[in-house]
Amino acid sequence: MSLIRSPITGDAIREVADVTPAGLDDAFDAARAAAPVWRAVPPTERGRLLVEVGRRMRARIDEVAELETLNTGKLVADTRREAERAAGCFEYYGGYADKVVGSVIPVPGPFHTYTLREPYGVVAGIIPWNVPYFFAAKKIAPALAFGNVSLLKPAQETPLTALLLGEIVAEVLAGAGLPGGIVQVLAGGGELGRALVSDPRTDMVVFTGSARTGAAVGSAAAAHFAPAALELGGKSPQLVFADADLDAAVAGVVEGIVGSCGQMCIAGSRLYVQAAVYPQFLDRLADRVRGLRVGDPRMAGTQVGPQVTQAQADKTGEYIARGQADGGRLIAQAELPTAPELAGGYWVPPTVLADVDPKSPLLQEEVFGPVLAVDRFTDEVDAVELAHRTRFGLAAGVWTGDPGRAHRMAAALRVGTVWVNTYRILSDLVPFGGVGHSGYGREGGADAVGLYTWTKSVWLATDPGVPSTYGKG
């Protein structure tokens, strides 16, 4: 059993039964039995069922948002938006289910040659603790849309909304007379995740989490030749040029580091400001951070909630201390809540440090907390060089009033996503993923078809008299 605690107060919420090795065997048996049944469901009908899941998810948005906030400590405004996105994810892929097509290839000779897109079969999805409900939807919906079945393991700390989503999907599928093994949400810790990924009954793995765990996941999947997509961490730079709208940039930079309590892979944790506006930008940034209201994420007016676990709060605090030890100047910190009922919560102050040693772990490792490191740059070349001083390549922000510069920077930055004069905007219509230590593979948009299916080529001779050796190499 896992005891689930709320990061807002530290109080226990619920106990959740962890899946045993025998339970995992049962889950695989059910998934393997259900896979051919689900694959045989016509794509249009699969799509209709996914849209119905989305409809039922929308009817429970308030319930999901409250539970997600209680379990993760995130603002209700955030968890409500994520619940809406999760429902939209099922609706989007429901509409996409019957739009997957192959192609006819005009090869030389008397042949009709074409391709088919085939589902992998049993897809294992593993998600982190920061956005459990939406990430569960993001893993399950496209897998189902394109004919796979799904085994999903949420993080041990935040399984509650993923389990709820599993119940919603199961209700819809059962109502259609389909077997229960099509979608299964499996609660447990690291041992369960390792067993799920390394089992040869898993045909494909889609993982979101840290780079260290992602490397292990990719290796375990490769050992039995299962393809894997890894959406890993980031150390994303925000680049503010002197010609930018500085007020908009300050707002975007702050949202990019304290949104989701700083616990997001796309956090803009490194800020570089052009030297000509560096002092004034730093002053505006410091004022904004000092004024942030940290507290109960269920209350109106709260802007930043707690870290999701005490261990994560301790880790973030250690990075702040290390950054200062590595020469960083404390520019600003927000005040922590003082209400007695929040005394047991996992609180860390949003913090800005300037002039940190570039080799410091604060600038090289993913903190996953509301900690921003700031420095200056001179020109575009310098900005790109600073942006690339990391092994990660997930995202970047560019703030400028020059359209030409915007396009030059977008082309020069080696990251999966570039935001210009905005930040932290995502859509299921747009591919998402990283390079380097931020992983490989793309979820979202048309790229999801290539992720969750493989290509089969078919050759049909239109002239039976053609020798079988025609065109052979």
Kindly list the catalytic residues.
231
Cα gap 144→139, rounded to integer Å: 9
Cα gap 150→338, rounded to integer Å: 44
Write the CA distances from 21 to 3, 40, 93, 166, integer angstroms. 19, 29, 32, 20
Give the residue from 240, 238, 280, 281 showing the smallest Cα distance to 257. Answer: 238
Cα gap 470→446, rounded to integer Å: 35
CA 439 to chain CA centroid, nearest Å: 11
10's CB contacts (< 8 A; 6+ apart) are 310, 344, 345, 346
- Residues 362 and 373 sit within 8 Å (Cβ to Cβ): yes
Cα gap 236→395, rounded to integer Å: 5
- Residues 389 and 286 sit within 8 Å (Cβ to Cβ): no
What single string gives the DSSP state of each residue in 347-402?
Answer: ----EEEES--TTSHHHHS---SSEEEEEEE-SHHHHHHHHTSSSEESEEEEE-S-
Task: Name residue 202's amino acid.
Answer: T
3-state secondary structure of 459: strand
CA 452 to chain CA centroid, nearest Å: 16
